[in-house]
Structure 1
């Protein structure tokens, strides 16, 4: 098994801008480090469950049942659209509310759901891992090893993103700046929703 090659592949993929990166950066900037860190652990949980379910055969089920794939895409998109609407609605007040993600618990839950409802996250694991197995069967033991490597790398990157994004939180003490950034954040979440809808099973 080429663990180093797999780790580098995961690192490159995680450094490519995507839904988690955009969402975590915007969340940390608008809601602060505490909620951002809670979201990171939620994302990590979602990725872990993804890997376990993929190893158990969910990715194969998604290939055989395109209706399930479509349902997951629309559920994920609907959740992100709702969050975008809540965030945008919160910009109408003089001091914008934080109803979109008002607590660490909600940030954690949202981070988990974003990944559980992203069908491509399941396919990623079974599509990438076999290329580094050197003929070995994936098996539960190897799957858990690669999963732990993948989640560790992703979480480290996500933590760095949240720490960097939270540095802008103090700058957002001005209500006017907060409104502008929250609207940008709402647009980012809208973009994530569109990416869910546009994803194809390939």
Structure 2
């Protein structure tokens, strides 16, 4: 019972920490705002699902102890880090280009799959997520219990909290789509968000350096 109560208390603290972390502006927040504002809620939710799956996969790898290999391998960490940076810059370029050109609208099913994959890849190439699971999450486990089991529960908690916040971001940004009906305003907003995403990519490169 003591173990259960101790872990339950840690769980609530971890949930609060996860919410606060996800409310801090970062790559997912800016990217999902762009998708929601430019593509609408359904495509935005598809991107959110991709992000959630990416976070869940990294969490499962953490529970299995595999992310420790990444953290202990400077070369592998740097490869993932720079791949993530360049991928974010590529997404920013795509957002800027879409603001400058007439974009051909793809079928909804194709768009859903495309943005789902983009959300997934963005988080699989994010070593910061692996570092979070390695450096932050273990502090909320109870040493006398099953560390793997607790890690799995905390990982799923983080994914659920992040997904809820990401879905809210998509919903709110999609509501602002009417602001994009004016061509000049649309171009300005999309370019501003593209520059913001590029800035996040550069911040990500600086923040994840070791």
Question: Normalising by structure 1, what TM-score?
Answer: 0.90
Q: How far apart in 2 are the matches of 1:191 and 1:137?
A: 42
Whether 1:71 and 2:79 are equivalent positions in the alignment is yes
Q: How far apart in 1 are the matches of 2:207 and 2:105?
A: 29
Q: Tell me, what secondary structure is at the counterpart of 2:52? A: helix
1:201 deviation in Å?
A: 5.3
Match of 1:149 in 2: 157
Whether 1:11 and 2:19 are equivalent positions in the alignment is yes
Structure 1 runs (4+) greater than 6 angstroms displaced: none
Q: How far apart in 2 are the matches of 1:81 and 1:30?
A: 18
* Cα distance change on mapping 1:138 and 1:81 into 2, 3 Å: farther
Q: Which moved more, 1:83-92 or 1:23-32?
A: 83-92
Whether 1:50 and 2:55 are equivalent positions in the alignment is no
Q: Residues 75-101 of structure 1: CA distance to partner in whole angstroms, max 9, x if unpaired?
A: 1112122222222222223x45569xx
Alignment RMSD (CA, Å): 1.9
Aligned length: 199
Whether 1:189 and 2:193 are equivalent positions in the alignment is no
Question: Normalising by structure 2, what TM-score?
Answer: 0.86
Which among 54, 68, 74 is matched to residue 60 of structure 1? 68
